[in-house]
Amino acid sequence: MKNLIEKLVSDALAALPPGTAGGAPPPAPEVERSRDTAHGDFACSIAMRLAKSLRANPRALAQQIVQALPKNDLIEKTEIAGPGFINFFMTPAAWQAELLRVHAAGRTYGRGMSGAGRRAIVEFVSANPTGPLHVGHGRHAAYGASVANLLEADGWSVHREYYVNDAGRQMDILAASVWLRYLELCGETIRFPANGYRGEYIRQIAAELHGRQGDAFHKPANAVFAGLPLDEPDGGDKDQYIDALIARAKELLDAGFRTVFDAGLDEILADIRDDLEGFGVRFDRWFSERSLGDGGAIGRAIARLRAQGHVFEKDGALWLRATDFGDEKDRVVVRENGQTTYFASDIAYHLEKRERGFDLLQDILGADHHGYVARVRAGLMAMGEPGDSLDVRLIQFVSLFRAGDKVQMSTRSGEFVTLRDLRAEVGNDAARLFYVMRSNDQHLDFDLELAKSRSNDNPVYYIQYAHARIASVLKQAAERGLPFDRESGLASLALLADPQEREMMREITRWPEIIQQASEFRAPHTVVHYLRELAAAFHAYYNALPFIVDDGALRNARLALIVAARQVLGNALDILGVSAPESM
Q: How far is the CB of 399 from RNA (least distance, A)?
A: 8
Which range in 137-145, 300-308, 353-361, 365-373 contacts RNA by CB under 7 A?
Answer: 365-373
> By C-beta, is 159 or 506 nearer to RNA?
506
What's the min distance (Å) between Cβ of 441 and RNA?
4
Minimum distance from residue 543 beta carbon to RNA (Å): 4
Burial of 233 (0-12, 13-18, 19+ CB in 10 A): exposed
Q: Which of the residues 544 through 563 are near RNA (CB under 7 A)?
A: 544-548
Sheet with strand 331-334: strands edge to edge: 311-314, 317-320, 331-334
- The CA-CA-CA angle for residues 396, 399, 401, to 5°, reads 155
Site for RNA in 160-179 (CB under 7 A): 165, 167-171
Closest separation in Å from C-beta 427 to RNA: 11
Q: 55 or 189, CB closer to RNA?
A: 55
Instruction: Tell me how far the alpha carbon of residue 469 is from its chain's centroid.
Output: 29
Alpha helices in 385-443 (DSSP H): 419-426, 428-435
Q: Which is nearer to RNA, 79 or 184 (CB)?
A: 79
Q: Lay out the site mask for RNA across 517-546 (x = CB under 7 A, - = otherwise).
A: ------x-xx--x--x---x--xx-xxxxx
Least Å distance, CB 70 to RNA, is: 21
Closest approach, Cβ 150 to RNA, in A, equals 14
Closest CA to 225 of 195, 182, 189, 263: 189
Least separation in angstroms between CB 391 and RNA: 13
Given the complex with RNA, which of 183 and 526 has the nearer CB atom? 526
H helix runs in 389-457, sequence order: 419-426, 428-435, 448-452
Size of the site for RNA (CB under 7 A): 91
The span from the CA of 411 to the CA of 426, in Å, is 20
Within residues 116-135, the interface with RNA by CB under 7 A covers 128
- Residue 89: beta bridge partners? 77
Using CB under 7 A as the binding rule, the residues of this chain from 85 to 104 that contact RNA are 85, 87
Side-chain-side CA neighbours of residue 203 (13 Å)? 6
Q: Which of 266, 277, 284, 445 binds RNA (CB under 7 A)?
A: 445
First-to-last CA distance in the chain? 34
- Determine the interface stretch with RNA among 6-14, 367-375, 376-384, 489-497 (rule: CB under 7 A): 367-375
CB 31 within 8 A of CB 2: yes
The residue from 30, 237, 262, 425 that contacts RNA (CB under 7 A) is 30
Measure the CA–CA gap between 40 and 32, rounded to whole angstroms.
11
Smallest distance from the beta carbon of 24 to RNA, in angstroms? 16
The nearest distance, CB 210 to RNA, in angstroms, is: 26
Show contacts with RNA in window 388-417 (CB under 7 A).
394, 396-397
Based on the shown chain and the rule CB under 7 A, indicate whether residue 306 belongs to the binding site for RNA.
no
442 binding RNA? (CB under 7 A): yes
Q: Which of 372, 402, 407, 427 binds RNA (CB under 7 A)?
A: 372
- Is the Cβ of residue 225 or residue 372 nearer to RNA in the bound state? 372
Select from 110-118, 224-232, 301-309, 468-476 the region that touches RNA (CB under 7 A): 468-476
Residue 584 binding RNA, by CB under 7 A: yes
Q: Considering beta carbons, is residue 84 or 132 the nearer one to RNA? A: 84
CA distance 212 to 254: 19
Q: How many CA atoms lie within 13 A of 138 on its CB side?
A: 29
The angle at the Cα of 13, spanning 7 to 19, to the nearest 5 degrees, equals 170
Whether the CB-CB separation of 150 and 447 falls below 8 Å is answered with no
Contacts with RNA in 476-505 (CB under 7 A)? Answer: 476
Instruction: Decide: helix, strand or coil at residue 1.
Output: coil
Q: Which stretch binds RNA (CB under 7 A): 16-24, 64-72, 203-211, 368-376?
A: 368-376
Site for RNA in 189-248 (CB under 7 A): none
Q: By CB under 7 A, tell whether 578 contacts RNA.
A: no
Closest to 567 (Cα-Cα) out of 478, 454, 486, 483? 486
**Of residues 311-350, those binding RNA (CB under 7 A):** 314-317, 328-329, 331-332, 335-337, 339, 341-343
Query: Does 83 sit near RNA (CB under 7 A)?
Result: yes
Nearer to RNA, 218 or 321 (CB): 321
Residue type, 481: G
Among 266, 441, 449, 498, contact with RNA (rule: CB under 7 A): 441
Q: Which is nearer to RNA, 71 or 329 (CB)?
A: 329
- Residue 323 Cα distances to 28, 235, 307, angstroms: 35, 40, 18
The H or E element that residue 485 is part of is none
52 binds RNA (CB under 7 A): yes
What SS3 class is residue 145?
helix
Give 345-366 as a 3 state SS string: HHHHHHHHHHHCCCCEEEEEEE
By the rule CB under 7 A, 454 interacts with RNA: yes
Pairing outcome for strands 331-334 and 85-90? unpaired
Minimum Å gap between C-beta 221 and RNA is 27
DSSP run (H or E) holding 332: strand 331-334
By CB under 7 A, tell whether 472 contacts RNA: yes
